[in-house]
Amino acid sequence: MSTSGKHPSFTLFHSRQSRAFRVLWTLEELQLPYRLVYLPFPPRARAAWFLKENPLGTLPLFIDGDARLTESVAICQYISGKYDDRLGVPPDSAEYGQWLMWAVFAEATMNYTLSVCLRYGWIEKEERRKPDVVEYYKSRFVEKAHYLAEGLGTRNFLVDSRLTIADICVGYNFVLAEYMGYMGDLPGVVQAYWNRLKEFASYQRCINLEREAPLAFQRPDNI
């Protein structure tokens, strides 16, 4: 979203299709003001100055005043808990536990399989790629997707009959799955779910923002 005319409340360091996409999508859906800083991927190797901001060299990095957060799921929940709970579920809801569970499942159970595939199938140099490892972890990802399909059943969303952070966190996995050509191997229920999520205007704005990413990267002033 545009933040012209005033200093944004948040700064998000982002690279195309990185985990920061979850945070970007959350901010866009809630229409909260932010400054977006693009980085080349992987930033730890291609933007040495970033290590001064985040010694891990990972994305996202989210800055809110003195608070600096680097875990994408935690950032989404932080924004929900502190600033705008429209994508959250109240603790007294019967679905609160499921909301938390699916959001963490998105990273801890689903995304690690895709991360291995991405590294050894795309990121590493040709001589270091491992097709057998990629195939194994792809099968594990498909297995997790079948579990997700069972959890969805006939519902349009994971919890509370509406878009929540749980959907955004899970949905990011399909950004990568599309990139790697895996969506056709997933259950029809999951494919239909992802198609619904992509219809949200906030998701489309994120895609457009990534398309408009600058070709040159430099350290921004006044971080």
Q: pLDDT by residue for the chain (223 residues), tens digit each?
A: 333 334 448 999 999 899 999 999 999 999 999 999 999 887 777 788 889 999 999 999 999 999 999 999 999 999 999 999 999 999 999 999 999 999 999 999 999 999 999 999 999 999 999 999 999 999 999 999 999 999 999 999 999 999 999 999 999 999 999 999 999 999 999 999 999 999 999 999 999 999 887 655 666 666 6
Q: Kindly report whether the global pTM for this prediction surpasses the value 0.85.
A: yes
Write out the residue limits of the CATH 1.20.1050.10 domain(s) in the chain. Answer: 96-200
> What's the CA gap between 21 and 35, in Å, rounded?
14
Beta partners for residue 26, in sequence order: none
- The CATH number for 10-87+204-211, chosen from 3.30.420.60, 3.40.50.880, 3.40.30.10, 3.90.1150.10, is 3.40.30.10
- Taking the domain 96-200, which CATH number applies? 1.20.1050.10
Which element (helix H / strand E) includes 69?
strand 67-69
Write out the residue limits of the CATH 3.40.30.10 domain(s) in the chain. Answer: 10-87+204-211
> What's the CA gap between 59 and 51, in Å, rounded?
11
Give 37-42's long-range contacts (Cβ < 8 A, gap of 24+). 37/11, 37/12, 37/13, 37/220, 37/223, 38/14, 38/213, 38/214, 38/217, 39/13, 39/14, 39/15, 39/217, 40/15, 40/217, 41/15, 41/16, 42/123
